[in-house]
């Protein structure tokens, strides 16, 4: 009788463990069922990727914006990150250039008015990337936003306009 009681107690103690092992799903299985599973080596989502702007050279913006008067945003660390050109035709909108993750992006100013319209900064967009320059007295801040919701701000830069 003692042996039988011992076996029954052992089975009783083991039963919850056995049931738990059969019914518990791993976090990975639950995530897959809910379409939220990302393997450990998955690339970062768009918002996890930082916005990286590469410095522009004079050859970069002259080739894409032409020659003529420009306004340039130079970051606090001395890199020229955005260049805008105003057309001679004051009724036309200016264009801006930045290099995002190694790709050149040409953005159009929201307002027309040639170089005069962009001397105090402004908003430029290509439908996916937006650059907003807030400038006063040669100082400037720039915000770059991407349609996926990612955004970066570059404070304490310089906004200079000239030939």
Give the pLDDT score at 114: 85
> pLDDT digit string (tens) for 19-40?
444 546 655 555 455 444 445 5
> pLDDT digit string (tens) for 103-121?
999 999 999 998 889 999 9
Nearest 5°: phi and psi at 20? Answer: -65, -40
Nearest to 134 by CA among 158, 161, 152: 158
Tell which phi-psi region holds residue 46, choosing left (phi > 0), alpha (psi between -120 and 50) or beta.
Answer: alpha
Give the pLDDT score at 19: 45
Rounded to whole angstroms, the Cα distance separating 99 from 63 reads 13
Structure tokens at 109: 């100013």
Give the pLDDT score at 129: 97
Stretches where the chain sits below pLDDT 70 are 1-48, 163
Residues 6 or more apart whose CB falls under 8 angstroms from that of 127 comprise 147
Domain chopping of the chain, boundaries: 2-42, 53-162
Model's pTM, two decimal places? 0.70
């Amino acid at each position: 009788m003692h042996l039988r009681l011992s076996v029954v107690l052992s089975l009783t103690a083991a039963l919850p463990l056995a049931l738990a092992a059969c019914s518990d799903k791993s976090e990975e299985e639950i995530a897959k069922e809910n379409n939220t599973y990302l393997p450990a080596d998955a690339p970062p989502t768009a918002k996890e990727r930082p916005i990286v702007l590469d410095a522009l050279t004079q050859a970069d913006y002259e080739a894409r914006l032409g020659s003529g008067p420009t306004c340039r945003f130079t970051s606090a660390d001395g890199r020229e990150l955005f260049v805008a050109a105003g057309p001679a035709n004051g009724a036309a909108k200016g264009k801006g250039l930045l290099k995002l993750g190694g790709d050149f992006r040409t953005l159009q100013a929201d307002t027309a008015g040639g170089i005069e319209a962009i001397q105090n900064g402004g908003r430029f967009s290509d439908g996916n990337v937006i650059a907003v320059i807030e400038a006063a007295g040669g100082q400037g801040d720039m915000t770059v936003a991407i349609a996926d919701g990612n955004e970066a701000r570059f404070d304490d830069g310089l906004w200079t306009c000239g030939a």
